[in-house]
Amino acid sequence: MLMSARSQQQEKPTSVGEQLHNCQTQFDILRLLRELAAGFGYQYFFVANGATPEEKSFTEAIVITSAPADLVQAHEATQPVASNPLVGILAQGGAPFEFRLDNSAAPAPADFRVFIEGIAGAYNLDCAFVVPVYHPDHGPSAVFFIGKRAPMSIGETAELALYAHMAHQRLRQVSARPSKPDSPLTERERECLVWTSVGKTSVEIAQILSLSEHTVNHYLNNAARKFDAVNRTQAVAHGLRFGFID
């Protein structure tokens, strides 16, 4: 009887909180958020920062996403200037926000509406759920989900918003610490070096960060040049040695 009870306990699914606690890398959190998105009926998720002087475009603002790189690139190719569709939403406050294409009265900021409308047809989307989050070192950010599903219930809204906050907090915990003030690296260069240091290829880094392989190589080459390194391996070693990456 005791063995049977123990077996049942071992087979009991772990909570989202426990799963997040067990996440040790950004890639672990990417996989968990991808599962959460699917569980709530969404196709893709994004974790992205608000606009900063260094991250004016949406591509530069994205921390991790499950969306294909061409989705974001297709949006930015239609914009006359670099833009981040989250800026308007994050300026409105910290409440979770649901936007639906079938609701013409939805009070979405213009940039966000343009973003969703621009990709909806090609990717079979009709709604988005945005959870504003905040980190003292990184400022306002958002975890948001896009897909095609029925309107969110009050219970679903509260549950997914909680998971988004927990995931963002854990993501910042497992990510490398922000660059030192005297670091020559930009945030994107540092991120690419961090992923390289754990054995990820340019193709894998591009998928994780929703960038093109060419862009990842550009960031890595910039980092190597700044460190006067002959290749990315030497750049990683230099970054680790001087504490610019962890």
pLDDT tens, N- to C-terminus, the chain (246 residues): 333 433 444 444 579 889 988 888 777 888 899 999 999 999 999 998 876 545 567 877 788 888 887 787 777 777 766 678 887 888 777 789 899 998 876 677 888 888 888 889 889 999 999 999 987 766 788 999 999 999 999 999 999 999 999 999 998 888 755 555 577 888 888 889 888 888 888 888 888 887 888 889 999 998 999 888 888 888 888 888 888 886
* Rounded Cα distance, 18 and 16, in Å: 5
Q: Distance from first CA to last CA of the chain, Å, rounded?
A: 48
Tokens of 76: 């930015």
Among residues 124, 181, 130, the alpha carbon closest in space to that of 148 is found at 124
What pLDDT is recorded for position 69? 76
What pLDDT is recorded for position 7? 41
Tokens of 167: 């995931």
Beta bridge partners of 133: 141
| Cα angle value 58/60/65 (rounded, 5°) | 75
What strands, in cross-sheet order, belong to the sheet with 139-147?
Answer: 62-65, 42-49, 139-147, 127-135, 97-100
What pLDDT is recorded for position 167? 94
Pairing label, strands 139-147, 127-135: antiparallel
